[in-house]
Amino acid sequence: MDLYRRTLFKILGLTAAGSSLPGCEREVHNLVPYLLPDGDIVPGVANWYATTCQECEAGCGTMVRVMEGRAKKIEGNPTHPVNEGKLCARGQAALQGLYNPDRLQGPLRREGKRGQGPFRPVTWEEGLSEWVEQIRIHAGKSAMVTRPVTGTLASLLTTMMDSLSGRLVMYESTGEQTLRTANHLSFGTQALPHYDLANADYLLSFGTPFLEHWLSPVSFGVAYGKFRQGRPMVRGRFIQVEPRLSLTASNADRWIPLRPGTEGLLAMGIGQVLLRDGLTNLSSSHQASFHRTFSAISLQAISADTEVPQEVITQMAHELSSANAPLIMGGGPAAAQTNGTTTLILINALNVMIGAIGRRGGLQWMEPQDPPVDLANAGLAGERTLMDLAMEFEQGSRTLLHLYRADPLFTLPPSLKFEGVFDHAQFIVSFSPFLDDSTSMADLILPDHDPLESWGDHVRQDTIPVPAWSVSQPVVRPLYDTKPIGDVWLDAAHRLGGSLGERVPWHTFHDLLKSRWQAVLTKHDSPRSFETRWKETLQEGGLWPSTIPHHQISPAIPSITYKPPQFLGNSSDYPLYCYPYPSLGLHDGRGANRPWLQELPDPLTTGIWGSWIELNPTTAQSLGIHPGDRVRVTSDYGSIEASVMMFPGLHPDMIAIPMGQGHRAYGRYAKGRGVNPVVLLGPNYDEQSGSLATGGTRVRVERIKGGSQLPMLEQSGKNPVFGNLQETGGL
Amino acid sequence: MPQNADTAERHVVLGFFDPTTSLPPVLDQIRNQGIPDIFMEILSPLPLETALLNKPVRIPLYRLTIIGGIVGIGVGIFFAAGTALLFPLVTGGKPIVSIPVVGIISYETMMLMAIAVTFVATAINIAFVQQSGLRNDPRIDEGSVGLSIQVGNDTAKAHSISRLLQQAGASEVEIRTIASDS
Amino acid sequence: MTDRPTVWEEMPKINRDLLAPLQTTTWTYFLWVGVLSCLVAAGAGAWTFQIQTGIGQTDLHHPIFWGSYIASFVFWIGVSHSGTFISGVLRLTNAEWRRPVTRLAELMTVVALLVTALFVFYHLGRVWRFYYLIPYPNQRELWPNFRSPLMWDATAIFTYATASTIYIYLPLIPDFALARDRIHGWRKTVYRWLAIGWHGSQAQWRTLEMAIRIITPLIVMVMISVHSIVGFDFGMALVPAWHSTIFAPYFVVGAVHSGLGMVMIGLYVLRKVYHLHNYVRTEHFEKLGKLLLVTTLLLAYMYFAEQLTVWYGKVPDHIAVQHSLLYGAYAVPFWFMVSCIYVIPLLTLVWPRFRQWPVGLMIVGLIINIGMYIERMLIIVPPLAHPRLSFQWDEYFPSLIEFVILVGTLALALLLYSLAVKFVPVISIWEEKLGKKHAPKR
Amino acid sequence: MSQDLQATKEYSTKAASSYKWEMVVDLDRCSGCEACVVACHAENNIRISGEKEASEGRAINWIRIERYWEGDYPDVKVKFLPVMCQHCDDAPCEPVCPVYASYHTPEGLNAQVYNRCIGVRYCGNNCPYVARQFNWFDPHWDEPLADQLNPDVSVRSGGVMEKCTFCVQRIRSGKEVAHKEGRRVRDGEITPACVQSCPTAALIFGDRNDPDSRVSHLTKSRRGFHLMESLGTHPAVTYLRRLSE
């Protein structure tokens, strides 16, 4: 150990000398005296580079600390409007994507049967020419499934797929497709509003996991801090309604559990009370239609169905009306039912009733902006769209599949039969930097750089008060023989030649990026040269106006009828609702190859490095199940086995399972660990948005032989008693 | 008996007595031969209850013990207080020189030094003091009492003492001659 | 002179009897030593493995940072109190019956102390840096921190080890001389050195007796301080149920309790193996049995006082530990321990007839030692397993590596003792003779 | 005595100091999102324990979010308590170390000198906050994960105790900068990794000797309390009570 630091310095010093990175670096060769306390060590000098986090779609601005040519730490960019200098666990763990031991180190060609490997390293020339050859063979029959991308890369991919008459599908399992659909129907705009939590004084949230992964968790985190303690004399009050006490719910002043899928009904009840007691400030023209919509079901029936007492419903309505700046949000599990869109429309209508639209501390939209770079016009796809794609492959109208950082084989339930795409596709190319479950089915892998090695940009024009146009820059030299996906597509365009080559005359993605930004920067700020402005933009991490006018929305609340949620599986065979939820660290599974995130305790169960089944203790008792017992969870579509954790904050008719584990591939930390709960889910959709109702499957739980102690941070979890606080000063 | 003219010789007369024999009269006879108590020694397999010989004690052992103890206290104070003052690091809000600690450490080092010094003094006493130049005789431990008399290089005296012992009832008498500087 | 001729006449027989173990060795002895050596080798292998791979080979984990090694450390220190207590306290009180027992007990002291020191090394996370504990200034002119109870411990144990080695050696000098004259071969040379020219002169006897008289009270004081300081290791800590004033005296009494139990075993086994019935008589067992009864009652009284205070005070931190003992995760070992060290000794030793039965007393000694070992574990583990932040509550059970090391070390102790028996007369020959001389005729 | 040694002695022992580093944890802001945990791992080269060691209760966290359940369904409440080394002024862990691996700096930090530590683990027992973490084995990073390691922070070998340092390397470099510019460290200029990352700004760090620092103001808050105040350890971390109905 004593020598480790010295050798580290030595090694890093050498690599730094060869580094081509911008900025001057001072090499540090101090020998650190053996017995010197750490406080005495004079640290070396580090450089910080601004870039953009790409771990989720929020697009937080980051600063990467680079010493001796190695990225050391990622922190939030203090000036960035999304995250204001803060960063979540997943964003910080992006370093373990860069330095992941299981990264693909160069292009690979499949040798054996598809899906069984082995892969043979090939040169880029071999790989690219084979791929271009395949594009030619499958002319007009290309398709690409990618994680959601924005900005220049999105426009390049769109252009390319357009030119090849291909189909571009951006998919994200937690893409809140339902929310977008509901908002479109309610407010007539594609853009999501900015929920002005920081200035609200009362928050009623229907299931939104805004402190975990919903939309932009870091900006919500920042706002939540202000909501609670950021203003003198005002402390925001927060009510969360959902069947499982999530991390977000655990922060609420009051958690109101209800029967899964009845969030819309509860919203209807609250609206009913608001209307009944004349607590809305709706225009008289609206009154009638609202009355029609909200009085369809009696409060008594609502209370019985939701299991929320009438007086609680009334109380919530009165609290909403007496608050100065109440705010209502809906999403997460509330949207993950067959009636998700309806539920969210009802919630939106409640926001209209309390006058939250466009209000400070309410829902705000910014004036539509002319983005500096194209917004992707492909948009996000729901599961239905993927099913359409699968159909096209089955019919043979699509034969060439491209994958980019999307793992549909892992994130989609097998009951959706998406693996048919992999059976029918004649050739599969993946640009993913890891051998994930889907990429291991590929014929050719052309691995992308890590985001920390790449140029790029990110456009964010909703859910925050001002638009954020962020840039990413390489902060370290590429570790391996990988190529950025943009370069690869441009190369392909030139190889394919013809009009395509003319449409994209750039040779590298960096050139393309700069040319896009040249247009913007010269437009926004003329006097100085582009190069100066570009460098400043890179230093700052992007471009964002300080303020922007609000866009006035006139809500169009459609007259809707409440639909009860539909569940797959009858209640006698399958008595329990199944709720798979994205894990805080691993999210939908993409974090599973980062040891930091595997070792990051789930905040509520404190489980690490594995999967578990959460059961309400009373339910467990009635089933004769004890903590740590192994159980089998079965639905009509599949079954999984895992150990049980007691979870007092769970609706007794429900089980919850974290997502993110159960990979068949994806590197040493993820492979074969835990179970993937999506195998339980049946093809149950919210028809309006076309997204999968992940909460719409029923299951049964039975105890099986065995049982093992789950790795947990909480040691007392090994005892059947739950921890209680002692001497913490009345915490 | 080998004789060596180059070195001075000493004669030791050793008589073995039955333990029931009363020794004081014998000792008196030897004293009358002009041999002082310091040249006599009684060997026994057990400590005898009464001191039959009158020999001066140079330094009482307990005094050395006390000196050792005092030195030990000094060592303890140095360890517990001195070393802390040499590099005064604060730990847990405790004083640099904590009196109870000094007490505990000094107590232990005091005991250590006292016992060690006592032991060393004892060992030196046993090993070197008043050596008669005789090895232990196994017969003593078999149940007899030995009386040894150093007579210097006076061979005639040795023989007369030897006779005297035989007359006094010694079961066996030996005269041993030892090269004094060997 | 009031000597009884019989004592003097018996001397050749006493010499023969008591030196016999040194002179004759049976094949069973070699077998025994062979088996022990294998166990020791296994323990050494396990320790090597632990050093190579890390202290994590134990089942220790936070917040239970101390476990079986420290428990064994405390246990063996306790065993070491047998010799000092019996020969020291009984010598001070002039209890004549001590004579055949002292040497055997003192030998236990020395062996137990050697073993005790080993446990400190097993326990260290970086044992290869053990010398940081030695009081000398390092490169940065920093000495060890004597404010740490562990340094008190180190000082005290060093003192105790030195003192008890001296204390067993001094009365051995005449016996070494005896052996020197009667045993041949390489051992003769060693005995010659160790006998430092002893020839039984009155001057030597006087010096020796004086030295023993001076050292005896000192070593009793050291003994009490040593186990008090071991108790302080726990008492000084803020850990719930450790932070208690009774720990120092409780540890001293507990040590004597297990030490006496161990002497009972040793006495019985040695008497049986070396046919020492003439020297170790039922009378000795009975006396030891009475002492054991006293320590049982004393220890039970202290334990009760300790637990009663916790129970009545109802401080949540402490009560959590007590609950885990009385009816929680540690209830089974706790009640087993209570039976072993309090109930069984009390119910048996109160019967005068039982105290006449050496086999029974030996078994009680064994039970007490098993119980005391568990008691050491229960002193250390449950409080650590119940820190004030209940989020961190945990359990602990020694790992296989720990067991192998513990067994290997027990074997080492037995081996050292067995080897010592071949080198040192287990009954102090001259003291036995002296005792016979003083004893009234039957 | 060499100059270097002289400097060390002065640094570790000089009586009066111009800074006193303290932290405030606002439980009303803390959402339990654990961004601090990863930030700490990244900054301080905290080992990756892996599933086996983690299941043995040996995962190392310098800061952890303790979660306490209260009540039964449906009136269940959860309380989060971020616990890190409290840098007690009268730290129970410090005096028990026989080799001075743990000591108190004049700036109020509870320092742990890894190279001195021999792993007796007494300090770990004696910390009522269970803040001290032990390396039961040598750490291991699969290549090239070790490229991420922070060169300002030592990698701890097996057999060594470690714990939160308040990111002493950041304090040190912040002080260097201030010293070069001939001024005191400004409030908020030095942020430990956890404080820097905390989205809800539940963690606040600063100089208690500066009466205008945020930490100085917040510690006087009526919501303030110390963990296990009755033990008299005088922690440098002040918690602000979470408000509830």
Task: Kindly tell me if the per-residue pLDDT of A725 is higher than 70.
Answer: no
Q: What is the mean pLDDT of chain C?
A: 90
CA A663 to chain centroid, in Å, comes to 18
A241-245, A708-712, B75-79: the lowest-pLDDT one: A708-712
C-alpha distances out from residue C3 to A263, A468, C439, D91, Å: 106, 111, 11, 67
C-alpha distances out from residue B28 to B15, B22, B52, C421, Å: 15, 11, 10, 44
pLDDT confidence of residue B144: 82
Across A325-331, average pLDDT: 94
Chains A and C touch (3+ CB pairs under 8 A): yes
**HEC profile for chain B?**
CCCCCCCCEEEEEEEEECCCCCCHHHHHHHHHCCCCHHHEEEECCCCCCCCCCCCCCCCCHHHHHHHHHHHHHHHHHHHHHHHHHHCCCEECCECCCCHHHHHHHHHHHHHHHHHHHHHHHHHHHHHHCCCCCCCCCHHHHCCCEEEEEECCCCHHHHHHHHHHHHHCCCCEEEEEEEECCC
CATH number among 1.20.120.80, 3.40.710.10, 1.20.1630.10, 3.40.50.2300, domain C5-25+59-133+142-398+422-438: 1.20.1630.10
pLDDT confidence of residue B133: 58
Task: Kindly tell me if the per-residue pLDDT of A11 is higher than 50.
Answer: no
| pLDDT (tens digit per residue) in D176-223 | 889 899 899 999 999 999 999 999 999 999 999 999 999 999 999 999
Q: Which of C140, C388, C393 sits opposite A716 (nearest CB)?
A: C393
| pLDDT (tens digit per residue) in C299-350 | 999 999 999 999 998 888 888 899 989 988 899 999 999 999 999 999 999 9
Taking Cα atoms as reference points, which of D109, D232, D118, D159 lies closest to residue C151? Answer: D118
| pLDDT (tens digit per residue) in C217-250 | 999 999 999 999 999 999 999 998 898 889 999 9
Quickly state the pLDDT bin for D95 (edges 50, 70, 90): very high
Q: Do D100 and C145 touch (CB under 8 A)?
A: yes
Give the residue from B48, B101, B122 with the most C CB atoms within 10 Å of its CB, the best one to mutate: B122
pLDDT confidence of residue A238: 95
Pairing of strands A468-472, A237-241: unpaired
Asked if residue D111 is part of any domain, the answer here is: yes
Which domain range does residue D7 map to? 3-240
Return the number of other C-beta atoms located less than 10 Å from residue D13's C-beta. Answer: 15
Pairing of strands A400-404, A427-430: parallel
Chain A: touching chains (3 or more CB pairs < 8 Å): C, D
A215, A463 contact by CB (below 8 A): yes
| pLDDT (tens digit per residue) in C87-106 | 888 888 888 888 888 888 89
pLDDT confidence of residue A14: 34
Q: What angle do CA D175, D177, D178 make, to 5 degrees?
A: 65
Task: Kindly tell me if the per-residue pLDDT of A84 is higher than 50.
Answer: yes
A472, A91 contact by CB (below 8 A): no
pLDDT confidence of residue B117: 95
Cβ under 8 Å to C: D residues 164-223: none
Residues in B closer than 8 angstroms to D94, CB to CB, are 90-92
pLDDT confidence of residue A526: 61
Q: What is the CATH number of domain B9-55+131-179?
A: 3.30.70.120
The side-by-side arrangement of strands in the sheet containing D203-207 is D203-207, D21-26, D237-240, D224-225
CA A595 to chain centroid, in Å, comes to 19
Taking Cα atoms as reference points, which of C417, C82, C107, C368 lies closest to residue C223? Answer: C82
Q: What is the mean pLDDT of chain A?
A: 86
Residue D226 distance to chain B (closest CA, Å): 17
Task: Kindly tell me if the per-residue pLDDT of A68 is higher than 70.
Answer: yes
Q: Is D69 on the interface with C (CB under 8 A)?
A: no
Q: Is D32 on the interface with C (CB under 8 A)?
A: no
Return the number of other C-beta atoms located less than 10 Å from residue D210's C-beta. Answer: 17
Taking Cα atoms as reference points, which of B149, B135, B168, B172 lies closest to residue B16? Answer: B172
Quickly state the pLDDT bin for A20 (edges 50, 70, 90): very low
**What's the CA gap between B44 and B32, in Å, rounded?**
23
C251, C261 contact by CB (below 8 A): no
Q: Residue A140: what residue type?
A: G
Task: Kindly tell me if the per-residue pLDDT of C441 is higher than 60.
Answer: no
Compute the CA torsion angle A151, A153, A157, A159 (nearest 10 deg): 60
Give the residue from D94, D109, D113, D233 with the most B CB atoms within 10 Å of its CB, the best one to mutate: D94
pLDDT confidence of residue A66: 87
Q: Is A38 on the interface with C (CB under 8 A)?
A: no
Domain-wise residue ranges, chain A: 4-86, 108-173+372-543, 177-366, 576-718
A32-41, C107-116, C370-379: the lowest-pLDDT one: A32-41
pLDDT confidence of residue A285: 76
Q: Do C62 and D134 touch (CB under 8 A)?
A: yes
Positive or negative: CA dihedral A272, A273, A277, A283: negative
Residue A699 burial (10 A CB sphere; 0-12, 13-18, 19+): buried
Higher pLDDT, C31 or C428: C31
A43-52, A244-253, A564-573, D4-13: the lowest-pLDDT one: D4-13
Quickly state the pLDDT bin for C279 (edges 50, 70, 90): confident
Taking Cα atoms as reference points, which of A647, A666, A663 lies closest to residue A655? Answer: A647
Instruction: Quote the strand ranges of chain D, DSSP E.
Output: 21-26, 64-70, 77-83, 102-104, 110-112, 133-134, 161-162, 203-207, 224-225, 237-240
Q: CATH code at D129?
A: 3.30.70.20
CA A242 to chain centroid, in Å, comes to 20
**What's the CA gap between A671 and D178, in Å, rounded?**
48
| pLDDT (tens digit per residue) in C171-217 | 999 999 888 888 888 888 999 899 888 888 888 888 899 999 999 99
D203, D24 contact by CB (below 8 A): yes
Chain C: touching chains (3 or more CB pairs < 8 Å): A, B, D
- The count of CB pairs under 8 A between chains A and C is 39
* pTM for the full predicted model: 0.90
pLDDT confidence of residue B9: 72
pLDDT confidence of residue B114: 96
CA A98 to chain centroid, in Å, comes to 19
Sorted by sequence, the CB contacts under 8 Å of residue A378 that are 6+ apart come out as: A154, A157, A158, A168, A169, A170
Minimum CA–CA partner of B85 in chain D: D13
Domain-wise residue ranges, chain C: 5-25+59-133+142-398+422-438
Residue D19 distance to chain C (closest CA, Å): 25
Looking at CATH, the fold of the domain delimited by A4-86 is given as N-terminal domain of TfIIb (2.20.25)
Q: What is the mean pLDDT of chain D?
A: 90
Residues in A closer than 8 angstroms to D201, CB to CB, are 86, 222, 225
pLDDT confidence of residue D245: 61
Chains D and B touch (3+ CB pairs under 8 A): yes
Domain-wise residue ranges, chain B: 9-55+131-179, 61-128
**What's the CA gap between C418 and B15, in Å, rounded?**
40
Residues in C closer than 8 angstroms to D120, CB to CB, are 123-125, 150
Positive or negative: CA dihedral A176, A180, A182, A186: positive
Return the number of other C-beta atoms located less than 10 Å from residue D230's C-beta. Answer: 10
Helix or strand run (H / E) with residue A580? strand A576-581
pLDDT confidence of residue A525: 58
A414-418, A524-528, A542-546: the lowest-pLDDT one: A524-528
Cis check: omega of the bond before B60, within 30 degrees of 0 = no
Count structural domains, chain D: 1
Residue A672 distance to chain D (closest CA, Å): 13
Higher pLDDT, A267 or A375: A267
Across D83-91, average pLDDT: 94
Q: Do C146 and B105 touch (CB under 8 A)?
A: yes
Q: Do A723 and C394 touch (CB under 8 A)?
A: no
Give the residue from D63, D100, D125, D161 with the most C CB atoms within 10 Å of its CB, the best one to mutate: D125
Task: Kindly tell me if the per-residue pLDDT of A5 is higher than 60.
Answer: no
Q: Residue D53: what residue type?
A: E
D228, D91 contact by CB (below 8 A): no
Quickly state the pLDDT bin for B42 (edges 50, 70, 90): confident
Cβ under 8 Å to D: B residues 42-101: 87-94
| pLDDT (tens digit per residue) in D23-64 | 999 999 999 999 999 999 999 999 999 998 888 889 999 999
**What's the CA gap between C442 and C7, in Å, rounded?**
13
Quickly state the pLDDT bin for A379 (edges 50, 70, 90): low
Quickly state the pLDDT bin for B35 (edges 50, 70, 90): confident
- The count of CB pairs under 8 A between chains C and D is 137
Residue C139 distance to chain A (closest CA, Å): 8
Task: Kindly tell me if the per-residue pLDDT of A6 is higher than 70.
Answer: no
pLDDT confidence of residue D99: 93
Crossing angle of helices A299-306/A310-322, nearest 10°? 110
Quickly state the pLDDT bin for A43 (edges 50, 70, 90): low
Asked if residue D12 is part of any domain, the answer here is: yes
**HEC profile for B4-43?**
CCCCCEEEEEEEEECCCCCCHHHHHHHHHCCCCHHHEEEE
Q: Is A101 on the interface with D (CB under 8 A)?
A: yes
Residue whose tokens read 């790989």: A127
Asked if residue D245 is part of any domain, the answer here is: no
Taking Cα atoms as reference points, which of C376, C85, C104 lies closest to residue C222? Answer: C85
Across D99-119, average pLDDT: 91
**What's the CA gap between A574 and A572, in Å, rounded?**
6
Positive or negative: CA dihedral A335, A340, A341, A345: negative
A177-186, A543-552, A697-706, C36-45: the lowest-pLDDT one: A543-552
Q: Is D212 on the interface with A (CB under 8 A)?
A: no
Q: What is the DSSP letter of A140?
A: T
Task: Kindly tell me if the per-residue pLDDT of C412 is higher than 60.
Answer: yes
Looking at CATH, the fold of the domain delimited by A108-173+372-543 is given as Rossmann fold (3.40.50)
Q: What is the CATH number of domain A177-366?
A: 3.40.228.10
A707, A629 contact by CB (below 8 A): yes
**What's the CA gap between D145 and A106, in Å, rounded?**
18
Higher pLDDT, A257 or D5: A257
Cβ under 8 Å to C: D residues 77-116: 81, 83, 92, 95-100, 116
| pLDDT (tens digit per residue) in A208-237 | 999 999 989 999 999 999 999 999 889 999
| pLDDT (tens digit per residue) in A649-703 | 999 999 999 999 999 989 999 999 999 999 999 999 998 888 899 999 999 999 9
Minimum CA–CA partner of B52 in chain C: C202
Residues in A closer than 8 angstroms to C138, CB to CB, are 35
D79, A725 contact by CB (below 8 A): yes
Chains D and C touch (3+ CB pairs under 8 A): yes
Q: Collapse the DSSP code of C190 into the 3-class scheme (helix H, G, I; strand E, B; otherwise coil) and give the result.
A: helix
Q: Which of D38, D114, D165 sits opposite A89 (nearest CB)?
A: D38
| pLDDT (tens digit per residue) in A642-652 | 999 889 999 99
Q: What is the ipTM of this complex?
A: 0.89
Give the residue from C138, C168, C202, C438 with the most B CB atoms within 10 Å of its CB, the best one to mutate: C202
- With residues binned 3-state (H G I as helix, E B as strand, rest as coil), the percentages for chain D, rounded to 5, are 25, 15, 60
Give the residue from C6, C158, C199, C224 with the most B CB atoms within 10 Å of its CB, the best one to mutate: C199
CATH architecture of A576-718: Beta Barrel (2.40)
Task: Kindly tell me if the per-residue pLDDT of C434 is higher than 90.
Answer: no
**What's the CA gap between A695 and A692, in Å, rounded?**
9
Across C379-390, average pLDDT: 90
**What's the CA gap between C394 and A719, in Å, rounded?**
8
Task: Kindly tell me if the per-residue pLDDT of B59 is higher than 50.
Answer: yes
Q: Do D13 and B94 touch (CB under 8 A)?
A: no
Helix or strand run (H / E) with residue A634? strand A629-634
Quickly state the pLDDT bin for A502 (edges 50, 70, 90): confident
Q: Is A211 on the interface with D (CB under 8 A)?
A: yes
Residues in A closer than 8 angstroms to C59, CB to CB, are none
